């Protein structure tokens, strides 16, 4: 009975993995107009490593932005989701709907006002400012995810902690936090992937070429001389960008699925 499911799943896996496999092969295969013109090797990766400030600097920029985005998103969504799930206050559902309504606004339309705001705050052309903007875009989904994660936890668990003398904040840290760990991992993984792969936000907010994250550096590297596209180095950049995301997802996929299932079961 499961054979059709396996066939469909295998076909989808091949469909989704084939572009990545093609990029990996193209990054080490010989191509005219690239650093790897004959034989198989890592010449394209050498081009990528030596581009302007170096791949180490661009990886560091992407890592700093992604880690800050994850930390900011987890901190705000944890408190917001806990408040929406556990407390009753006037306008709670209306405020939650307004938070979710941000998802309907194309985020590209907000970049220019945010650019002006960050410039007034002294955070324009800053990795911290970039992380704050990316956090804002992640918060609607993150707060929604954390709310349903908290609502999936039996209320008696939190109530027993309050009866035993824990305050709301202590109950959150010591009782509720371990119970919603899969939801936290899901939110953190989404925030990391969005920040790691984002292109248009740093394109608008970052003007210093040494501070751009890796996706923007790879795009800038594509055209080197007389508008000729270096496809080999571009494919090397694609593989370098995809590898951390794949490894992180494989390491956390069990918690990721549990985080989504908790919300699905609650719904």
Domain of 134, in residue numbers? 52-223
Give ∠ CA 225-228-234 in degrees, rounded to 5: 100
Provide, for the chain, the percentages of residues in helix, strand and coil under a 3-state DSSP scheme, each rounded to the nearest 5.
75, 0, 20
Q: Is 172 within a domain?
A: yes
Range from 109-118, 131-140, 174-183 carrying the lowest mean pLDDT = 174-183
The residues, ordered by sequence, that sit 6+ positions from 125 with a Cβ below 8 Å of its Cβ are 205, 206, 207, 208, 211
Decide if 44 is inside a domain.
no
* Position 33 in a domain: no
Identify whether 260 is part of a domain: no
Question: How many structural domains are present in the chain?
Answer: 1
**CATH number of the structural domain spanning residue 167:** 1.10.3720.10
Quote the pLDDT of residue 264. 47
Residue 75 in any domain: the answer is yes
- Domain contains 22: no
Q: What is the mean pLDDT of residues 128-145?
A: 92
Whole-model pTM? 0.84
User: Among 72-81, 122-131, 132-141, 216-225, which stretch is predicted with the lowest mean pLDDT?
Assistant: 216-225
The reply to whether 152 falls in a domain is yes
Residue 58 belongs to some domain of the structure? yes
């Amino acid at each position: 009975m499961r054979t059709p499911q396996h066939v469909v799943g295998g076909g989808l896996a091949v469909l989704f993995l084939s572009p990545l496999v093609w990029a990996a092969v193209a990054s080490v295969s010989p191509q005219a107009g690239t650093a790897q013109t004959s034989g198989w090797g890592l010449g394209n990766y050498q081009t990528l490593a030596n581009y302007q400030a170096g791949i180490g600097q661009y990886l560091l920029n992407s890592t700093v932005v992604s880690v800050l985005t994850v930390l900011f998103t987890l901190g705000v969504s944890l408190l917001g989701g806990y408040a929406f799930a556990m407390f009753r206050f006037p306008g709670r559902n209306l405020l939650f709907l307004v938070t979710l309504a941000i998802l309907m606004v194309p985020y590209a339309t907000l970049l220019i006002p945010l650019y002006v705001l960050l410039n007034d705050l002294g955070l324009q052309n800053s990795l911290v400012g970039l992380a704050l903007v990316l956090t804002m875009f992640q918060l609607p989904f993150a707060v929604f995810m954390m709310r349903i994660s908290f609502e999936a936890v039996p209320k008696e668990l939190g109530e027993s902690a309050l009866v035993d003398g824990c305050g709301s904040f202590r109950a959150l840290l010591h009782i509720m936090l371990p119970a919603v760990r899969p939801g936290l991992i899901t939110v953190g993984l989404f925030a990391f992937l969005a920040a790691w792969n984002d292109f248009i936000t740093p394109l608008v907010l970052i003007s210093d070429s040494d501070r751009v994250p890796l996706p923007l550096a790879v795009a800038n590297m594509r055209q080197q001389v007389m508008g000729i596209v270096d496809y080999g180095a571009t494919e090397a950049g694609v593989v370098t960008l995809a590898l951390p995301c794949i490894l992180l997802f494989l390491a956390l996929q069990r918690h990721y699925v549990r985080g989504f299932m908790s919300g699905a079961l609650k719904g």
